[in-house]
Structure 1
Amino acid sequence: MLEVLFLLLLGLVAAVFGSIVGLGGGIIIVPALVLLGPQLVGSEIDHATAVGISLTVLIVTALSSTLAYAKSKRVDFRSGWLLFITSGPAAMIGSLLTSQFKNGMFQLSFGIFILLMAGLLVARDYMKPIQKQWPIIRTYTDAEGNVHTYSYGLLPALLVGLCVGLVSGMFGIGGGSLFVPVMVLLFRYPPHVATATSMFVIFLSSILGSGVHTWLGETDLWLVLALLPGAWAGGRIGAFIAGRMTGRGLLWLLRVSFVLLGIELIVEGIVQS
């Protein structure tokens, strides 16, 4: 019973954090399943299965967040579909590559990736969007009536989608940790639009990525079902909170958590190698 309650809470917390900053929650779910498998199910959960579970749960988290963001008209669906053209197939390729990590290399690689994400979350506070005017121009009017103008290029957007999709499928994360900073800094998206749009792309890509893991038998239906209620509620709660806060305090909590989690995974990866 305690295990089920923990999984419900894990799904909730991961989805809330993920929805607020566009991460999708997988960056919390995957390490938790890999590190706490014996306590949860009595045996270790291999990394490929953890990624498969995360991507399947991510469908619900991202859909829940996207629906909430869509009500406040923050999702740029046109940009989202463009990014999905490359992120979707790349997520499938990344999912195929997950099982190729051997002897602690997944923990080591994922730990390094999480530390890089922590650094990126810090750096984006000090980096300013470039002022380049890209060919495709978009506008967004926020709740206060302020009009924001941003733009992007076709090829750069497709390349961003490709890179993010590959990482997303490989590690079972949403990809928003990469999408959001790039969209804000490179294309000057308003942060709330970048977060909301990234969740829409994550929803689409996670369907394809999780499909590959399911086909390979790298998922666990019962763990998915235990995580889903919290993920659905957390996705909506996170979207609600994101519209009413700057997220600065939560971002610092995430940064510290990522550093500690990254170090733990790196140490475990080195021990198993």
Structure 2
Amino acid sequence: MVYALAGMFVIIGMFAGVVGSIAGLGGGMFFVPALLYLGNVYAPGSVSPQIAAGTSLIVIGVTALSSSISYLKQKRVDIQSALLFFLGSAPGAILGVYLNTLLPIKAFTLLFGLFQLCMFILMMVKDKIKPRSINWDVRRQFVDAEGTTFEYGYNRGVAIAIAFLVGITSSLFGVGGGILMVPMMMILFRFPPHIAAATSMLVIFFSAMVGSVTNIWHDHVNWFYAAMLAPGAWLGGKWGAVIASRMKGQTVVLILRVLILGMAIQMIGESVVK
């Protein structure tokens, strides 16, 4: 049973690493359900929402580091923006760990699903939102492989505030925060999809490290499960960054939408059944 569990966790780690790296999510939307289900099948009662979130965040850090190294080599990461977002996400990540301890598993699952459903709706309507003339404090330009120039930017205060919410989400649900960061970067700040995903992974790595230290302090990590997920997540993170470099921005957006909707339906369904 241990070998079968290890094999499933390695496969899940690779799949989550690849998809999470492509979409800039970190992979937590797969790790958390897998830990709650498979972990408790192997050892009933061993994985609480707090353990699932804490263990997931450790593995997300592995995925994010692997992806970030590859994306940095491809020069797709807006490092200055990532560091600014981290100023907000770091304290949010610490707060999220404490909020997580207040949630029973049914409430955790339902909130996770509803949160993802809201993100899916945002992703669907974002293209219908007319661009506004925003007096950004910071402006950026990016030229993609096809020669198209994108202009994006943000106000520092707004960016830090949003990053704070992302940090809370990261530790609260153990998802890395990219599931909120990437849509917000694209919708509010007009980041091109590839830069949003790559920059998000670096922010996720920083936030995951802060949240993980807090989780370790509170003994919210199952190191046995983390060790089984991490190797696949590392490989998947590298492969995902390579695959993403060959994909068009709209393809990345489509994958993001499908993943968010699918996981939202699954988590809401589980909360209703339990």
Q: What is the TM-score when the length of structure 1 is the normalising length?
A: 0.91
Alignment of 1:1-273 (within 5 A): 1-102=3-104, 104-127=106-129, 129-245=131-247, 246-247=251-252, 250-251=255-256, 253-268=258-273, 271=274
SS of the aligned residue for 1:203 comes to helix
Q: Is the 8 A contact 2:85 2:159 kept in 1?
A: yes
Q: Residue 145 of structure 1: CA displacement?
A: 4.3
SS of the aligned residue for 1:84 comes to helix
How many Å separate the matches in 1 of 2:260 and 2:207? 25
What amino acid maps onto 1:202 in structure 2? I
Calculate the aligned-residue CA RMSD, in Å: 1.9
Q: Deviations over 1:196-217 (max 9, x none)?
A: 1111000000001011111101
Gaps in structure 1 of 5+ consecutive residues: none
SS of the aligned residue for 2:119 comes to helix
How many Å separate the matches in 2 of 1:155 and 1:144? 33
SS of the aligned residue for 1:173 comes to coil
How many Å separate the matches in 2 of 1:155 and 1:248? 26
How many Å separate the matches in 1 of 2:138 and 2:111? 36
Q: Larger deviation: 152-161 or 114-123?
A: 114-123
Q: Percent identity?
A: 41
How many Å separate the matches in 2 of 1:249 and 1:143? 19
Q: Is the 8 A contact 1:129 1:186 kept in 2?
A: no
The change in CA–CA distance for 1:97 and 1:218 in structure 2 (over 3 A counts) is: same
SS of the aligned residue for 2:220 comes to coil
Q: Residue 79 of structure 1: CA displacement?
A: 0.5
Q: Deviations over 1:87-134 (max 9, x none)?
A: 011101101221111362212222222322333343335445444241
Q: Larger deviation: 68-77 or 251-260?
A: 251-260
Q: Deviations over 1:141-192 (max 9, x none)?
A: 3334444322211111111111111111111012112111221221121211
SS of the aligned residue for 1:151 comes to strand
Q: Is the 8 A contact 1:130 1:186 kept in 2?
A: no
The change in CA–CA distance for 1:228 and 1:73 in structure 2 (over 3 A counts) is: same
How many Å separate the matches in 2 of 1:62 and 1:29? 13
What amino acid maps onto 2:219 in structure 1? G
What amino acid maps onto 2:252 in structure 1? G
Q: Is the 8 A contact 1:26 1:58 kept in 2?
A: yes
Gaps in structure 2 of 5+ consecutive residues: none
How many Å separate the matches in 1 of 2:253 and 2:169? 25
